[in-house]
Structure 1
Amino acid sequence: MIREWNETTINRFLKEKRGQGMGKDYKPWLQVQDIASKGRSTRIFGHTTQRVHHLLSDLQLYYFYFLEFDNDVADIREQYPLLDFHDMNIQVDEELTKKLFDKKTQVPHIFTVSFLVTRKGENGEPYYQARIIKQSHELEKSATLQRIELQRRYFEKKGIDFGIVTEKEINKQLARNIGWVLNSYDIQDYPILTSNLVHLKRDMVQCLSNKYDTFQGVFSRLERGYSLDEGLGLILFKHLIANKEISMDLTKKIYLTSSIENYQVEVVGKNGGDNRYAVGH
């Protein structure tokens, strides 16, 4: 827990290489153990980056799910610090100048954005998006708006797309469903699934073609046919969705006893182009 923002803290973070690196080597500037979050803080492994992410609220977690599920996202850097902010000669008035330094210690503030996202451009060149995740009521505070304005000017000068995302832009049911399937992205802990994956996928797809069957009916039949433990059919199904081999309507609450036809289940194919739920543009 950061008790006081001072030069000792900044130097310690810099020595730990926080806010530096990319992909699996990136270390967020702020980590779960550093602050008392107003929401639930989460450490979660990211398959895009192959590292653990530090998310400081439920809204950040939901947005992270969208990014993880987006085919065009190449890197996700959370709690990203603007370490060179004070070197950018950003024009500020007297009121904004007050936000540049800690009132008590007079140490320069290190501003952070919730996410700096690297996306794959059409020409193969990466481009970046900076996103601040906030509850909408927080935007009613003048101090919050002033900090955001400073960050907006910073990214404008950098030529990086900048935006704010609130709970009004996040479909929570969709986010929860994406998180639900992503927890089965990797099935290496289930050797009976990986060793029979080709045959299991074929039979799963064949069973799902009966639109009047239920999900639970399909999973139970598959489990009996391959002598699988109960629940492995569901894990396989989520794995195929997470890896974009099967698509379905993830905006609805999922009931496994419901008919398949209610969820627009389709076979996409390995690394298919289904990117319906991409966000952040």
Structure 2
Amino acid sequence: MKNVITNKSHLNRLKDGRGQGRGENYKPFIQANDNKVASQGWLTRTLGWKTNRIHHTLSKFEYQYLLVQEWADRVLDIREQYPLTPIELTQEIALKMNIAHPHLNGEHVIMTTDFMLTILDHQGQMQEVSRTFKPTNKLTKRTLELFEIERRYFQEIGLSWKVVFDIGRPIGLIKNIDWLYDAKHTDVRPGIDKEMIELIAEPIFISIQNLGTTLSISKACLKTDHKIGLEPGTSMFIVKHMLANKRWTTDMNQTIRESAPLKIEI
């Protein structure tokens, strides 16, 4: 494509390794601290359960989708803000469609997809799938044009691509994952380590079970702290930790409220 300039900052991101790597070594092409990042006021940096790196999400919906993917057992790796490279491919697609390629101040920019996921399919084989999230109230003619470039790009390279809309989100599950998310690892709670958890988890579980189904989980945890001689808040942290690691279970589709009873099972 002649006489087309690619945005220099985007080229520099590629040189810096953005959009490359996997797992802990992946660097999102767009990051929350980039200048002039378009967002809906929900720029978040979240430590990933699966990758042990900071994930950069640019909207509330992206953050919620990230939580669900962290919870899903079949999802092995999450790469957000994934670049569609080489740019020449999206330029060629836009040219064939006779539409404008994404640009900034007359310079072409590298397109991104919200999430590139590595998953296990139902046959136990690893595959890469791409997912883009979009609220239905943000759909415009231009959005659909960009979606078509994205769809054709992934068709060209042989990967599954879908748009995920905000309708039908599992709100209860999302709220619950958000509630327990920070308790996944023990190092966020002073005085708690794996050995300590093995010692106190069972007594905490038994105590909460014995307090009945009418006491709120917050009161049950406080009473358990007092009964066992733990620092206030410890039992609640253990409940969240055991649920986050799926060692204890509850109905995750029903919104957990600390002011209400919580049925947990081993």
TM over 0.5: yes
Q: What is the identity, as a one-letter code, of the residue corresponding to 1:100?
A: H
1:88-127 alignment, distance < 5 Å = 96-100=97-101, 102=103, 104-107=105-108, 109-127=109-127
Counterpart Cα distance in 2 of 1:98 and 1:228 = 64
Task: Give the match's secondary structure for 1:252.
Answer: coil
Instruction: Give the alignment partner of residue 225 of structure 1, picking from 219, 224, 227.
Output: 227
Instruction: Judge conservation of contact 2:208–2:224 (CA < 8 Å) in 1.
Output: no
Mapped pair 1:260 → 2:262 = yes
Shift of 1:116: 0.4
Aligned ranges for residues 1-281 of structure 1 at < 5 Å?
6-34=6-34, 35-84=37-86, 86-87=88-89, 96-100=97-101, 102=103, 104-107=105-108, 109-139=109-139, 141-190=140-189, 192-194=191-193, 195-210=195-210, 211-214=212-215, 215-261=217-263, 265-267=264-266
Shift of 1:124: 4.2
SS in 2 for 1:128: strand
Question: Partner amino acid for 2:150?
Answer: Q
**Residues 44/92 of structure 1: CA separation in 2 closer, same or farther (3 Å cut):** closer
Distance in 2 between residues matched to 1:205 and 1:103, nearest whole Å = 56
8 Å contact 1:193–1:236 — kept in the other structure? no
Give, in whole Å, the separation in 1 of the partners of 2:33 and 2:8. Answer: 17
Query: C-alpha separation between the residues in 1 aligned to 2:31 and 2:192?
Result: 35
Q: Answer yes or no: is the 8 Å Cα contact 2:175–2:255 preserved in 1.
A: no
Give the deviation of 1:36 after TM superposition: 3.3
* Structure 1 residue ranges (4+ consecutive) displaced by more than 4 angstroms after TM superposition: 88-94
| Structure 2: tracts of 5 or more residues without a match | none
Distance 1:134 1:101, change over 3 A: closer
What is the deviation of 1:252? 3.0
Pick which of 48-57 and 220-229 moved more: 220-229
After TM superposition, the score normalised by the length of structure 2 is: 0.87
Q: What is the root-mean-square deviation of aligned Cα atoms in Å?
A: 2.4
Paired with 2:95 and 2:85, the residues of 1 have a C-alpha distance of 21
Secondary structure of the residue aligned to 1:100 is coil
Equivalent pairs: percent with the same residue? 26
User: Which residue number corresponds to residue 275 of structure 1?
Assistant: none
How far is 1:205 from its partner? 2.6
Q: Distance in 2 between matches of 1:246 and 1:52?
A: 26
Deviation track 1:38-69 (CA, whole Å, cap 9, x = no partner) reads 23110111020110011000000000000111
Deviates more, 1:21-30 or 1:119-128: 119-128
**In structure 1, distance between residues paired with 2:224 and 2:209:** 14
User: Structure 1 residues 19 and 93, CA, compared in 2 at 3 Å: closer, same or farther?
Assistant: closer
Question: How big is the shift at 1:152?
Answer: 0.8
SS in 2 for 1:12: helix
Aligned residues: 257
Task: State the one-letter code of the partner of 2:254.
Answer: K
With normalisation by structure 1, the TM-score equals: 0.82
Give distance in 2, aligned partners of 1:190 and 1:101: 45
